[in-house]
Structure 1
Amino acid sequence: MRNYRGLRRVDWSPSGVCALVGPNGSGKTTLIDVLQLLQDTSKNGFTKAIAGHGGAYGLRHFGAQKDEPISFKLSVEGASWEFSPELSLGPGGARLPLYERVIDGDAIAYEYGGAEADAAIVEQVGLRDLIYYAGLNADSEDAVSEPVRRLVEILSSYRHHHHYALANLRREGSLLGGDLGLSDDGRNLFAVLMNWRNRRDHRERWAFVSDTLRDCYPELFEDFSFPIAANIVSCEVHMPNGHKLTPALLPDGFLVALIHLCAVASSTRGGVLAIDEPENALHPYSIRCLMDAFREWSDTHDVTMLLATHSPVILDTFKELPEKVFVMEPAREVLPVPLDQIRKRSWLAHFSLGDLYEHLKYGAPAGADEA
């Protein structure tokens, strides 16, 4: 990515469970939201997509030269989609043209735009068409290649989970429906859980959530039930002592942990998801239980999880994996930077990664004095 909002240059190849850290305003949320922006662009075009991601103001990095485009490139297993949105720099200014290209291995599957007004269209297939085509012709000899299919699958299944609708869940429950995947804000939580419990082919998801909750909250949780009134699904938490708790009585931390687990369990095999500030409302014990569960799911299902965080507790769980901690380090030309490229692994091994972050040894605001 180049020149998008506060991010001048990004080159990132995450895998497994990753932490993304750095000062407020360094671009962590912008970075993990980009895949959602690209997904929305692939469905509705960039103009409509950007309207739902902060609008056009400040779209291009303030430090970019007037002839420098905003550009995005997503690569998966030899296939890539890259584009620069059309950008007008105001009256009398430059107008940067739309450019889009889909590459499949060594071949260009589609190319449009660029500096030439009469850009050649190699094939009348953009990414939006590829997404449709990949699903429509999954068993056809003319179907897109496996790398392109993987790119399409990862992009179309990506979820950025944030701003959970806790108040709505307590007050309104979830709409009754056939949802089998959690929405970005968790609003359909109770319906998804009920459907997983009732469907044999989703029992793994149900077991992952309920077993981890018993580990995190042994005195609070034993099982669920899901009362239905009209078209609304609510939830009752059955405690080991025989009492029941309704959503209005559940601690925020319990609901947050439950939504996190359902977000992870909703992921597709080989897919990618992001959670913004997963530590919110959670006790350190619960955080550690969840991190263990996240890594187990990630290893079993080849899921990449991007956790934008400021939590020393979360960072301490990466002590043996500093290469999975990515830092939005001020003044670095390319972001994010793996922690083991900022500090030597042999040095990091002597310290708590959370303490180092708290004492500004990495990911500190520009101009801040180390504590």
Structure 2
Amino acid sequence: MITKFTVENYGCLKDVEVELTPVHAFIGPNDSGKSTLLHAVRSVIQFATSRFVQTDRGWLPFDPRMDVRDGEPKRLLGAHASAGWYAVETTKDATEERCQDKDSGEEQVASPRPWNNPCRFLESSLERLHPVLASLSGARLIRFDADALRRPSGLITPAQLDSLGFLNDRGEGLPSVLYGIREKDHESFTALVESMRGFFPTLKTIRLPAASASALTLELELSDGTRVPPEHMSEGLLRFLALATLRFLSPCSVVLIEEPENGLHPARIAEAMQGLRAFASASNTQVLIATHSPLVIDELTADEVTVLTRPSVGVGTRAIPIKNTHNFEKRAGVYKLGELWLAYCDGNQEEPLFDARLR
């Protein structure tokens, strides 16, 4: 688990440090840096435990350099875990890594490596078995989009069952994911259907009919026998179903979720958050959330919420734990966490939540 994350000169994150918990949410106005922070976490884990591949379409799975230009400061991303810390610096031309083991105090430094290299890929040159890197074993970014969730997707092979996941962060490939869950362990698929039925009582089962010779689509059968194709499914049901599959996907150390409340009925938001907390605990997976919903915040504790704000375009993002906001203890005696934030947020800067000393 990442206990502390530091970032410098990554988009609007000029100099930010945040303490993290197993389940943690970032709140704040639009354009305050919440999504950028999730992307920064994904970048440092990708650097530490996987690789970037250079193609004719650019770097895949994504370009972590955030448009670094000549003469600009280095980008610094650092993740602290129980085993120690890992940091990576990037410039327009090269990247450099450092890693320290907490127990021994030994620090490893990797030589700078150019982005443009004959191998056409970039990966960590530190020892993969290092305990710090072992604790950063992959990140999954989620920004579910209903249209992507509705699309048919291809059949998967037995070899792909051990790396089960969506095709992209929008959730494309949901039928394939459900097929994989069913093929790998039919009891797990049955449990998934039963859990969905608890929230949507008219649901009888989930079907995966062929959309073509090589692709599956999603279909719901209701208790009265009605068959519902994906184009007629509500966004809320699709998103809730996609969230419910997370515990069956291939393991990773961190799941990063943008606005899990989108499309959900208020009652379903609380249930979705309870499900995410249970998933985090059972799978030892850290869940980091960017949200605008006070109902999401109501399901968290004061240690699990950080407020982000950006006073102006030329000023970098600032972060403060909600428990350290101005006069928190007095206000927390009156409001729930979500209400506390909602009472002060203005949709712009949320400045009343910040102590005058921080301005």
TM-score (norm 1): 0.75
The corresponding residue for 2:241 is 258
Q: CA RMSD in A?
A: 3.3
Indicate how the Cα distance of structure 1 residues 265 and 288 shifts in structure 2: closer, same or farther if over 3 A, else same.
farther
Distance 2:277 2:243 in 1: 13
Residues 46 and 309 of structure 1, relative CA distance in 2, 3 Å threshold: farther
Q: Residue type matched to 1:355 in 2?
A: E
Q: In structure 2, what is the Cα distance between the partners aligned to 1:274 and 1:322?
A: 19
Q: Distance in 1 between matches of 2:319 and 2:345?
A: 12
Which residue of the partner structure matches residue 143 of structure 2?
A: 162
Percent identity over paired residues: 22
1:216 positional shift = 2.1
* Alignment match, 2:16: 10
Shift of 1:81: 2.5
Counterpart of 1:44 in 2: which secondary structure? Answer: strand
What letter matches 2:80 in structure 1?
A: S
Q: Distance in 2 between matches of 1:147 and 1:291?
A: 29
Q: Give 1:50 shift.
A: 9.2
Q: Deviations over 1:295-350 (max 9, x none)?
A: 111122222111111112212222xx111111104469985322111153453132
What residue is the counterpart of 2:294 in the other structure?
312
| Partner Cα distance (1:52, 1:279) in 2 | 25
Q: For the residues of structure 1 that align with 2:297 and 2:220, how far apart are their CA atoms?
A: 31
- Please, which of 232, 244, 253 is the counterpart of residue 249 of structure 1? 232
SS at match of 2:98: strand
TM-score norm. by structure 2 comes to 0.77
Deviation at 1:67, TM superposition (A): 7.7
In the alignment, which of 73, 86, 90 is matched to residue 91 of structure 2? 86
| Partner in structure 2 of residue 175 of structure 1 | 154
Which structure carries more strand by proportion? 2
Does structure 2 retain, via aligned residues, the 8 Å contact 1:81–1:103?
yes
* Cα separation, partners in 2 of 1:194 and 1:68, compared to 1, 3 Å: closer
Instruction: Give SS of 2:245's match.
Output: helix
Q: Identify the match of residue 356 of structure 1 among 332, 340, 347.
A: 340
**CA distance in 1: counterparts of 2:319 and 2:351, whole angstroms:** 19
Does the Cα contact within 8 Å between 1:322 and 1:345 map onto a contact in 2? Answer: no
Structure 1 residue 51: Cα displacement: 9.7
The match for 1:103 is: 100
Cα deviation, residue 257, structure 1: 1.2
1:173: how far off? Answer: 0.9
Deviations 1:139-170 (A, max 9, x none): xxxxx24343223x1xxx20111152x32443
Residue 176 of structure 1 deviates from its aligned partner by: 1.2
Task: Determine which of 120, 135, 141 is the counterpart of 1:150.
Answer: 135
Residues 36, 159 of structure 1: 8 Å contact kept: yes
Query: Is 1:186 aligned with 2:143?
Result: no
Deviation at 1:45, TM superposition (A): 7.2
Aligned residue for 1:38? 44
Aligned residues, how many?
321
Contact 2:33–2:309 (Cα < 8 Å) also in 1: no
User: Which whole-Å deviations, capped at 9, do the CAs of 1:244-264 have from their partners, x for residues lacking one?
Assistant: 211121111111111222235
* Distance (Å, rounded) in 1 between the aligned partners of 2:226 and 2:271: 24
**Superposition deviation, residue 68 in structure 1:** 4.5
**Contact 1:357–1:364 at 8 Å: present in 2 too?**
no
User: Contact 1:18/1:325 (CA < 8 Å) preserved in 2?
Assistant: yes
Cα pair distance change 1:163/1:294, threshold 3 Å: closer
Q: Note the 1:115-130 alignment, pairs <5 A.
A: 128-130=124-126
Contact 1:325 1:339 in 2 (8 A): yes
